[in-house]
Amino acid sequence: MDVLSDVLRTIRLEGALFLNGDMRAPWCFNVPKSSDMVQVLKPGAPRLAICHLVLQGQCWAQLQGAEPIRVNAGEVIAVPHGDPHVLGSHLRHAAVDVEHVVRPQVPAVQRIRYGGDGDRTVLVCSWLTYEGDAPNPVMSNLPGLFITALRSRPAGPWIEQSVSFVLGDAAARAPGSELLVAKVAELLFAEVVRGYIESMPANNPGWLAGLRDPHVGRCLALMHGEPARAWTVEALAQESHISRSVLADRFTELVGAPPMHYLAHWRMILAAGMLRRDQVNLARIAEGVGYESEAAFNRAFKREYGVSPGVWRHNG
């Protein structure tokens, strides 16, 4: 089981490119919080992530209240929670609101030239919406802003080529270009997240670190592969080729919860998604996430989310 793909599927990523910018120094603009950007890009979307790919030149990025970061060609600035941030040729310049730089017209990709007559930076910006009413192990463990060196990754060159291709395709308004643009935006985000996970320091705790750990990662794959199975720590340890006590301690240390607690939480995330999307009855959903009775499932769901499955489905 590919655990990262499994978890990302549950949040139903949907996105597109929205800016192909030919930026000339000096330039600097503010990107507002996600709730403001959502109104322009995807009204009604619950959560928004932003990525900025620097195809040429360099720029600076800064999350509100954090230190500025220099970003070079071939690197991607990821803002997974849609926090306010600033981009510019240098951050000493007065920043204007992004709406004065570009007015996104979804699904079109806006091609602009902005700034002065100094050094050139080619910046491609994308957005992704995702479901966020149930906590997600990937998104909740990502920082507010991070940089991935896309060009130095094995898949980097062909992803950059794909971005360049769909930009031309979108400009020509070729049939099917909107779908291709959306898929490339999702692909870019997935690769950026993979790059972040692989570059994390070895001693970093958290779910993402657990994913990299051979034994904890194997345990996660087993639970995600068969979430309805009546797992025990003993069975997980046996199939992960590690002792029960070592697995329990290692899993809790990295993931932040014992294996059985994590499994119960993941089952509820799956159930919440099924309640939103599927019209099957509660008994089938309960069975699908490992509960033998609808009553036990109802109790577990209400304990997790504070409302019954029926109310959750109705509110969705």
Domain edges within the chain:
3-199, 208-315
Do residues 123 and 58 touch, judged by C-beta distance below 8 A? no
Residues paired with residue 294 on neighbouring β-strands, in sequence order: none
Cα dist from 160 to 16, 56, 105, whole Å: 15, 11, 23
Band of residue 279 on the pLDDT scale cut at 50, 70, 90: confident
Rg of the chain over Cα atoms, rounded to whole angstroms, equals 22
Element (DSSP H or E) covering residue 147: strand 146-149
pLDDT at 177: 87
pLDDT per residue as tens digits for the range 35-89: 888 877 888 777 889 999 999 999 999 998 899 999 999 999 999 999 999 999 9
CB-CB contact of 65 with 3 (8 Å): no
Biggest CA-to-CA distance, the chain:
68
Please, what is the Cα angle at 307 between 301 and 309, to 5 degrees? 55
When pLDDT is cut at 50, 70 and 90, the band that residue 269 belongs to is: very high
Question: What is the C-alpha separation between 105 and 109, in angstroms, rounded?
Answer: 7
Residue 9 has pLDDT above 80, yes or no: yes
Specify whether the CB–CB gap between 210 and 262 falls below 8 A.
Answer: no
Q: What confidence category does residue 316 fall into, taking pLDDT thresholds of 50, 70 and 90?
A: low
Residue listed under structure tokens 């909740």? 140
CATH of domain 3-199: 2.60.120.280
Q: What is the pLDDT of residue 143?
A: 94
Give the pLDDT of residue 34: 84
Greater model confidence, 17 or 214:
214
How many other CB atoms are there within 10 angstroms of residue 189's CB atom? 23
Say yes or no to pLDDT of 11 above 90.
no
29, 86 in Cβ contact below 8 A?
Answer: yes
Q: Quote the mean pLDDT of the chain.
A: 90
Confidence class of residue 133 from pLDDT cuts 50, 70 and 90? low
Check pLDDT > 80 for residue 278.
Answer: no
CB 234 within 8 A of CB 270: no
Structure tokens at 289: 């996430």
Q: Are 143 and 85 in contact (CB under 8 A)?
A: no
Question: What is the per-residue pLDDT for 268?
Answer: 93
pLDDT digits (tens, 9 = 90+) for 238-266: 999 999 999 999 999 999 999 999 999 99
CA–CA dist 50, 261 (Å, integer): 32
Backbone CA torsion sign across 287, 289, 290, 294: negative
CB 210 within 8 A of CB 251: yes
CA distances from 18 to 56, 59, 82, 187, 272 (A): 17, 19, 15, 15, 31
Phi, psi of 85 (to 5 degrees): -155, 170
Beta strand pairing call for 85-88 and 146-149? unpaired
Q: What percent of the chain has pLDDT over 90?
A: 61
Q: Please write the tens of the pLDDT for every residue from 74-128.
A: 999 999 999 999 999 999 888 888 887 877 777 778 888 999 999 999 999 998 8
DSSP class of residue 128 equals E
Decide if 3-199 and 208-315 have a common fold. Answer: no
**37 and 100 Cβ atoms separated by less than 8 Å:** no
CATH 2.60.120.10 fits 208-315, yes or no: no
